[in-house]
């Protein structure tokens, strides 16, 4: 078990119930980034904020400075020493111009499906964050992701809802009430981000 996950479980022992799925999600994300692919993230309400939060931990240093290698100095010069290593992660709820235009012109429940179709490529991952597991706009996005040859990770509550059978991996937080599920989502995705940072930015 990864050290960062062990530390997370020491603080939140109830998450032992989903430790295997957290490990599997970490391994899938590692393969994705190693292959030069990207992560798309989607959620509603508080889960939209979580999507943004996760991308922030991946696109810059989280607990490490992530210095760029010397190979960038020839093309970027001094800027090389002011930037940080990043893992590509796009929070779909933040694309407000497209989302409001599409919602006005078409079915709002297809917004994330449209963005997944437009931005997703084979080998990418779609992370769907939904406490119920039943958010229709995420279910539609997941179907598009599957059609495009993407992998799907779910971050849900205890049951996994309708999303679970559509996912490659579903991390089901061991709670049934929305606010309690959300309280577990934070340490779960922080653990994942720390595990990925240790893997890609060890130096």
Would you say residue 202 has pLDDT above 90?
no
Which class in CATH covers the domain with range 3-200?
alpha beta
Crossing angle of helices 111-119 and 136-147, rounded to 10°? 20
- R_g of the chain, CA atoms, integer Å: 17
Q: Please say whether the beta carbons of 42 and 127 come within 8 A.
A: yes
- Per residue in 94-119, pLDDT (tens digit) is 999 999 999 999 999 999 999 999 99
Question: What gap in Å lies between CA 63 and CA 60, rounded to an integer?
Answer: 10
The answer to whether the Cα torsion of 153, 155, 157, 161 is positive or negative is: negative
pTM of the model: 0.96
Domain ranges (residues) in the chain: 3-200
Q: How confident is the model at residue 203 (pLDDT cuts 50, 70, 90)?
A: low
Q: Please say whether the beta carbons of 168 and 149 come within 8 A.
A: no
- Per residue in 50-76, pLDDT (tens digit) is 999 999 999 999 999 999 989 999 999
């Amino acid at each position: 078990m990864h050290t960062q996950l062990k530390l997370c479980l020491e603080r939140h022992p109830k998450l032992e119930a989903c430790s295997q799925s957290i490990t599997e999600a970490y391994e899938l994300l590692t393969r994705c980034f190693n292959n030069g692919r990207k992560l798309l993230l989607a959620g509603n309400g508080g889960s939209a904020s979580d999507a943004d939060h996760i991308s922030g931990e991946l696109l810059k240093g989280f607990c490490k400075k992530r210095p760029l290698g010397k190979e960038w100095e020839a093309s970027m010069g001094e800027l090389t020493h002011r930037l940080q290593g990043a893992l590509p992660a796009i929070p779909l709820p933040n694309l407000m111009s497209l989302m409001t235009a599409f919602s006005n012109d078409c079915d709002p429940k297809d917004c994330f499906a449209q963005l997944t179709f437009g931005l997703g490529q084979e080998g990418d991952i779609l992370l769907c964050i939904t406490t119920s597991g039943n958010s229709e706009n995420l279910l539609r996005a997941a179907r598009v992701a599957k059609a495009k040859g993407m992998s799907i990770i779910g971050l849900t509550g205890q049951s996994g809802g309708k999303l679970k059978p559509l996912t490659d991996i579903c991390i089901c937080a061991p709670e049934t009430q929305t606010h309690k599920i959300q309280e577990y989502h934070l340490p779960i995705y922080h653990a994942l981000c720390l595990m990925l940072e240790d893997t890609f930015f060890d130096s």
